[in-house]
Amino acid sequence: MSLVAVDFVPMATTDLEWVAAQDRLLYPFPWSAQNFADSMIAGYSCWIVFEGGERSGYAVLMMVLDEAHILNISVCRSRQGFGLGRQLLQHLGEVARKAGGSQILLEVRPSNESALALYRKVGFEMIGRRKGYYPACNGREDALVMRLPL
């Protein structure tokens, strides 16, 4: 676990280039700064994780009725493995509950073993599979649909 202060701050337009740059470092098919800006404009719950005053991660949560959908959740590579992902998931759960959410849904690549392990560890269960959901280097990759009751 992290021993420094962790804060969750709503994403601002001044964060967009940093977030997009991090997404490019983390994923072969990243979101653009405009994707994050569009999420903010749409009123989604967009967050930056600060650890000891430094940006260390980010997330986008969309509420649909009583369902919370995690659209993007990421921890900077240099800060992975220190419990920030778990803390970020807990924060999103609190945000979703306050908004009337009864469950959180997300999609994850089967090849993203570290994310799958974290989601299972905090109680997410697989409820479905979307064939060819994600672009991949050799065509398309399925998405595992996971759910966590709140």
Q: Which residues are catalytic?
A: 107, 119
Say what the alpha-carbon torsion angle 13, 37, 43, 14 is, to the nearest 10 degrees.
Answer: -10
The pair of three-digit structure tokens given for residue 129, joined into one six-digit string:
């599979």
State how far the alpha carbon of 128 is from the alpha carbons of 28, 125, 144, in Å: 24, 9, 6
Question: How far is 25 from 101, CA to CA, in rounded Å?
Answer: 31
